[in-house]
Amino acid sequence: MRRESLYTSGMTAASSGDTLRAHARDLSARIASAAPEIEQQRRVPPALVADLACAGLFRMLVPRDAGGLEVEPGAMLDVLEEIARGDGSAGWAVMIGATTGVIAAYLPDAAARVIFAATPDGVTGGVFHPRGRATVVDGGYRVSGRWPLASGCQHCAWLLGGCIVFADGKPKPRENGAPEARMMIFPASEVTILDTWNVSGMRGTGSHDIAVEDVFVPAERSVWFSTDPVRRGGPLYAFPVFGLLALGIAAVATGIARGAIDDLLELAGAKVPTGSRRPLAERSATQATVAQATALVAASRAHLRAAVDEVWQAAASGAAITLEQRARLRLAATQSVRDAAKAVDLAYECGGATSIYADSPLQRRFRDVHVATQHVLVAPATFELAGRVLLGLPADTEML
């Protein structure tokens, strides 16, 4: 059932967060039931996207004065985790739609209204990596490019594509000598979707390639987090933006792990292994596995929440967020993803041969969580970056 939109409700950020948590809990069981359909269609069904949008889940991080809910990071974690507990692909789709909403804080008023406030049920998505080419022209840019991994592109109203900026036929340099890069924002009608998403895990995210050819983008519809000022919103937009994106990935991975533990508990109570007279739950190895997986997830969640709370308190109070705090935030997000994958591996192995069948949710959790581990924001290189910062060594921290 579609819910009344939250956007004009006048709620506080805290009450919006509580309402979103409740909606996520309500939707999670339905999403779990729809998981086989999501995987088969390689996308979240449009009717379910509509309900997720109407519940406000895609607008969690959009500023309130641009038609969003502007909830604190802890609420975002809870919501994404609950949706991913139902299905990893659905959680990922919500994560992409929610985190790309941060751009509204950086856009001029007119562009923010057109993209967000004018269509409150519209979803955003796209690719940050600057794979496209944006040539400077009067009033904006002429843009061409192709971007892989555009999760949820089929249900988006607006799509982003990172570009290198060119002027006079060559890359435009920044003050530090590096090429200037910007994200360009396109109406979905101007974007070609190329059916390329044939993968093992996260099959339901619809992360196809997207492409544009010589499309005009007004200057006010481009943004770059590292160089542009925040134009609206509260302390949420003082929170490290790349840290926020990494947190979204961690929340999805942890949700997948919690779902895998749920699946194992259900299986263990019903399955009698071959050659045994007792249910799987009565085996000591099963008991130890459940405990180990639960402890892994609980410990990583606690570590992540502690890092988030520390940085959020600084952002909310107006204090400067230190480089070490940024590093610890990314470290916690990356470790959470690794621990989630280990927990899913434990559950998958404990399920025995049952885990390998297509109708077992454990095999889908296994494939999905190992896609999450491959994202650049939580890749193993993050440990090196965080370690350099903690050791006081020089490091490229622009995206920290």
pLDDT of amino acid 12: 58
Res 92 pLDDT > 70? yes
74-88 per-position pLDDT tens digit: 999 999 999 999 999
Identify the architecture of domain 124-223 in CATH: Beta Barrel (2.40)
Rounded (10°) CA dihedral 40, 44, 47, 49: 180
Res 265 pLDDT > 60? yes
Res 169 pLDDT > 50? yes
CA 333 to chain centre: 12
pLDDT of amino acid 6: 44
Going by pLDDT thresholds of 50, 70 and 90, the confidence category of residue 9 is very low
Do domains 124-223 and 239-390 share one topology? The answer is no
351-386 per-position pLDDT tens digit: 999 999 999 999 999 999 999 999 999 999 999 999
- Strand stretches in 168-273, DSSP E: 170-171, 181-187, 192-194, 208-218, 222-223
Res 122 pLDDT > 80? yes
**From CA 79, how far away is CA 25, in angstroms rounded?**
8
Alpha helices in 271-394 (DSSP H): 284-317, 323-350, 361-372, 381-390
Closest CA to 205 of 274, 153, 265: 153
Closest CA to 263 of 336, 370, 366: 366
Mean predicted lDDT score pLDDT of the chain: 94
CATH numeric code, 239-390: 1.20.140.10
204-230 per-position pLDDT tens digit: 999 999 999 999 999 999 999 999 999
pLDDT of amino acid 176: 84
**From CA 63, how far away is CA 66, in angstroms rounded?**
5
Give the mean model confidence (pLDDT) for residues 150-170.
97
Contact 61, 99 (CB under 8 A): yes
281-312 per-position pLDDT tens digit: 999 999 999 999 999 999 999 999 999 999 99
Alpha helices in 185-283 (DSSP H): 241-270
Helix (H) or strand (E) holding 173: none
**Beta bridge pairs of residue 146:** 211
Signed CA dihedral, 8, 91, 232, 220: sign only:
negative
pLDDT of amino acid 206: 98
**From CA 82, how far away is CA 342, in angstroms rounded?**
19
**From CA 73, how far away is CA 315, in angstroms rounded?**
11
Q: State the pTM of this model.
A: 0.94
CATH topology of domain 13-117: Butyryl-Coa Dehydrogenase, subunit A; domain 1 (1.10.540)
pLDDT of amino acid 266: 94
Structure-block tokens of residue 299: 């410990």
Q: Is 392 helix (H, G, I), strand (E, B) or coil?
A: coil
Domain ranges of the chain: 13-117, 124-223, 239-390
14-64 per-position pLDDT tens digit: 678 999 999 999 999 999 999 999 999 999 999 999 999 999 999 999 999
